[in-house]
């Protein structure tokens, strides 16, 4: 994650930053916070900002950490001994990870009288891990500030929520997020699609590795053009074009989201709302397809696509899911042409 992203996101969350400045200045910082909001809204950056503010050697007159001192730099690079971050090991945060955290925090602070811990994707804690953390929050053995970070508040045990102050983070405004992508060197050809899929710069940067997002975008559009004219070569395109970029579960989920996005664009074109189309490089094609079918038929195709996420969650093979979707949409469209 770049310093540009960190600075931009924290700046966008100035009301939340101001709230923490006041709490620190008045020595009223709570011992545990639950930071809730969409990916990319700046939750982790805010937690790190608070840690830097607590440890910074040169806090400015406005109550901001300088970001350049040795303490701030170690926090930024996640090597500060009194600032510990926990993230899922695989798909879960396991009880052993929380036990390690508790063990570390039972020790005295190395360089001060306070410690900070940050739990990424806290909704992925196992029940045992969550209960172990709950006991720690109820009976702290040292002075600390805890930040539990999640995009899914409902997946956090109510007992854990009750031991924290909940801070809700709004998503980044679309125009601001596109500017952020551009400032971080994301190719203009994919910015509109990327911003239709996520609000996280880090996620987009991962998709850009080895030109994956561009390749996936091309594969989805080629499939869409064939499906939209009822051409069964779209069935072959699943195996030859989509499967090569569907090389892991995360990529498969993103491709399904892209399929949904292109049908959403088609619905928007029917409603003459072309300014919000994500696949702008294919806007003319999408508009023609939107003119060819009724709104009800296009909505039906979108609903069929939406259902594929449920099938993937049930561990049905990805290729089978998209091939079946291809046939269903072609059948849906075959009875709905307006020309």
- Is the separation of the CB atoms in 269 and 279 below 8 Å? no
Sign, Cα dihedral of 264, 270, 275, 279 = positive
Length of the chain: 339
Contacts of 6 (CB under 8 A, 6+ apart): 45, 48, 49, 76
CA-CA distance, 216 to 29, in Å (whole number)?
A: 45
CA-CA distance, 297 to 290, in Å (whole number)?
A: 10
Distances (CA, A) of 197 to 63, 66, 178, 186, 257: 36, 34, 12, 14, 7
46's tokens: 């805010």
CA-CA distance, 144 to 137, in Å (whole number)?
A: 10
Whole-prediction pTM? 0.63
Structure confidence at residue 12 (pLDDT): 54
DSSP character for 238? I
DSSP character for 336? -
CA-CA distance, 187 to 194, in Å (whole number)?
A: 10
**C-beta neighbour count of 174 within 10 angstroms:** 13
Token pair 């609000």 is found at: 199
Helix (H, G, I), strand (E, B) or coil at 60: coil
Structure confidence at residue 265 (pLDDT): 93
Domains (range + CATH), the chain: 3-168 (3.40.50.300), 174-334 (no CATH)
CA-CA distance, 255 to 187, in Å (whole number)?
A: 19
DSSP per residue over 20-50, as a string? Answer: HHHHHHTT---SEEEEE--TTSSHHHHHHHH
Helix (H, G, I), strand (E, B) or coil at 116: strand
Helix (H, G, I), strand (E, B) or coil at 144: strand
Helix (H, G, I), strand (E, B) or coil at 181: helix
10-residue averages of pLDDT along the chain (339 residues): 44 80 90 87 89 92 89 91 87 89 72 82 90 82 84 88 90 82 88 90 89 96 95 95 95 94 90 78 90 89 88 86 95 69
CA-CA distance, 85 to 93, in Å (whole number)?
A: 12
Distances (CA, A) of 233 to 19, 301, 313: 57, 18, 27
203 burial type by CB count under 10 A (0-12 exposed, 13-18 middle, 19+ buried)? middle
Helix (H, G, I), strand (E, B) or coil at 69: coil
Residue 83 β-bridge partners: 116
Structure confidence at residue 4 (pLDDT): 42
Helix axes 212-228, 249-270, angle to 10 degrees: 50
């Amino acid at each position: 994650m770049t310093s540009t992203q960190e600075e931009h996101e924290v700046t966008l969350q100035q009301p939340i930053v101001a709230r923490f400045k006041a709490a620190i200045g008045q020595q009223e910082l709570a011992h545990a916070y639950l930071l809730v909001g969409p990916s990319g809204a700046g939750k982790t950056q805010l937690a790190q900002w608070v840690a830097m503010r607590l440890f910074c050697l040169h806090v400015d007159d406005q109550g901001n950490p300088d970001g350049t001192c040795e303490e701030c730099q170690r926090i930024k690079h996640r090597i500060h001994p009194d600032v510990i971050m926990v993230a899922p090991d695989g798909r879960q945060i396991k009880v052993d990870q929380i036990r390690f955290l508790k063990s570390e925090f039972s020790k005295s602070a190395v360089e001060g009288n306070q410690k900070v811990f940050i739990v990424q994707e806290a909704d992925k804690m196992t029940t045992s891990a969550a209960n172990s953390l709950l006991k720690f929050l109820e009976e702290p053995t040292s002075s600390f500030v805890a930040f539990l970070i999640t995009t899914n508040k409902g997946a956090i045990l109510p007992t854990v929520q009750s031991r924290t102050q909940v801070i809700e983070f709004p998503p980044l405004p679309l125009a601001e997020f596109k500017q952020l992508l551009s400032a971080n060197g994301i190719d203009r050809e994919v910015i509109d699609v990327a911003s239709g899929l996520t609000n996280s710069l880090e996620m987009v940067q991962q998709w850009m590795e080895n030109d994956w997002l561009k390749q996936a975008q091309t594969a989805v559009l080629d499939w869409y053009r064939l499906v939209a004219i009822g051409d069964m070569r779209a069935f072959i395109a699943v195996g030859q074009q989509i499967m090569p970029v569907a090389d892991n579960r995360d990529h498969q989920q993103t491709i399904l989201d892209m399929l949904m996005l292109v049908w959403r664009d088609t619905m928007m074109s029917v409603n003459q709302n072309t300014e919000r189309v994500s696949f702008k490089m294919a806007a003319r094609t999408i508009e023609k397809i939107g003119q060819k079918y009724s709104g009800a038929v296009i909505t039906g195709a979108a609903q069929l696509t939406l259902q594929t996420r449920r099938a993937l969650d049930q561990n049905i093979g990805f290729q089978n899911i998209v091939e079946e979707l291809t046939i269903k949409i072609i059948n849906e469209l075959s009875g709905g042409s307006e020309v």
